[in-house]
Structure 1
Amino acid sequence: MSGETEVYFYHLEGRTLEQVLPTLLERSLERGWRAVVQASSPERVEALNTLLWTFREDSFLPHGTSSDGTAAMQPIFLTVEADNPNDAAVRFLVDGATLDDASPYARVVYVFDGHDDDAVSQARAAWTEAKDKGFAVSYWQQDGEGRWQQKA
């Protein structure tokens, strides 16, 4: 499936992951995609779990974690593992999380902090690896108004 998989890189500068991730997840659900969000620690998964319940007063994003016990039913699944228990079409990698094989997904999205030199270096290495494997890659940055602009 490598010819069909898109690998996106979202470079955060003016906004935080907490400000950006809910909107990206909403767009994924609007496309009819299930999503997996892979974070780097169980504590971060719990923080994202809380965020998705409270990010906006008038709505929430339907999601779960391994502690909920219904992974296969979750439109959005939060994890530290590399599995895909909800048969997600899109996988978000945050806080330096890595993925060995992007090919099972329609899209893999790296969201990284542009102010963190290690995160930028890791994203560059992931970009090179994705291109070398033949995935369609694109790089996005936000403009002054917060709109995502494709830069590469």
Structure 2
Amino acid sequence: MTRIDFYLLTSIAPIARLQLVCRLADKAFQQSHRITIHCESAQQSKQLDDLLWTFRDGSFLPHSRYPNNEDPPPPIQVGHETPPDGDADVLINLATTAPAFYTRFARVLEVVDESEANKQSGRARFRYYRDQGHTPNTHKV
């Protein structure tokens, strides 16, 4: 069964949420996971794509935006549509709803900040996962 983890930020700054996503992706990459980052919009995908190149001095996280024709795809893929079938085992979800394809992944990471809209959608996703039989874990960051 898919493991669900919610990371609860004490910040309301949107950039803090994206920076945490970069750190989580970096950690998963260092542990040899393949990661899909599912964004809410094309604009957010582009912003995160840019941030993955610059979030830390000297960092390099091999990634690309999907859909693409790279074969093999890089270990980290970023997009806002349904990702292609592949061997990614970690999903970082930035969308306001739980994606229907989440069960393809061994682990789902949800990042929720203190903004009211994000807290409300985070609570809805938490209930959804719980209603699907999961016991989500929470981590205060």
TM-score (norm 1): 0.80
- Equivalent residue for 1:29? 29
Aligned to 1:127: 126
Question: Gaps spanning 5+ residues in structure 2: where?
Answer: none
* Alpha carbons of structure 1 residues 50 and 6: separation in structure 2 relative to 1, 3 Å: same
1:64 aligned residue:
64
- Give the conservation status (yes or no) of the 8 Å contact 2:2–2:106: yes
Matches within 5 A, 1:1-152: 4-14=1-11, 16-66=16-66, 69-70=69-70, 72-94=72-94, 96=96, 98-114=98-114, 116-142=115-141
Would you say the 8 A contact 2:40–2:95 is kept in 1?
A: yes
Greater shift, 78-87 or 129-138, is seen at 78-87
Percent of residue pairs identical: 25
Q: Report the count of equivalent residues.
A: 138
- Structure 1 SS opposite 2:96: coil
Q: Give how far 1:72 is off.
A: 4.5
Q: How far has the Cα of 1:37 moved from its partner?
A: 0.6
Counterpart of 1:12 in structure 2: which amino acid? L
For 1:15-42, what per-residue CA distance to the aligned partner results, in whole angstroms no more than 9, with x for missing partners?
A: 7123212210111112221001111111
Question: What is the rounded CA distance, in whole Å, between the counterparts of 1:125 and 1:109 in structure 2?
Answer: 15
Show the counterpart of 1:145. none
C-alpha contact (below 8 Å) 1:72/1:85 kept by paired residues: no
RMSD: 2.0
Please state whether the residue corresponding to 1:10 is helix, strand or coil: strand
Structure 1 counterpart of 2:139, which letter? W
Moved more, 63-72 or 18-27: 63-72
Partner Cα distance (1:119, 1:39) in 2: 13
Structure 1 segments (4+ residues) deviating >3 Å: none
TM-score w.r.t. structure 2 length? 0.86
Shift of 1:13: 1.6
User: Residue 136 of structure 2: SS of its match in structure 1?
Assistant: strand
Question: In terms of mean alpha carbon deviation, does 89-98 or 131-140 score higher?
Answer: 89-98
**Structure of greater relative contact order (alpha carbons < 8 Å, 6+ residues apart):** 2
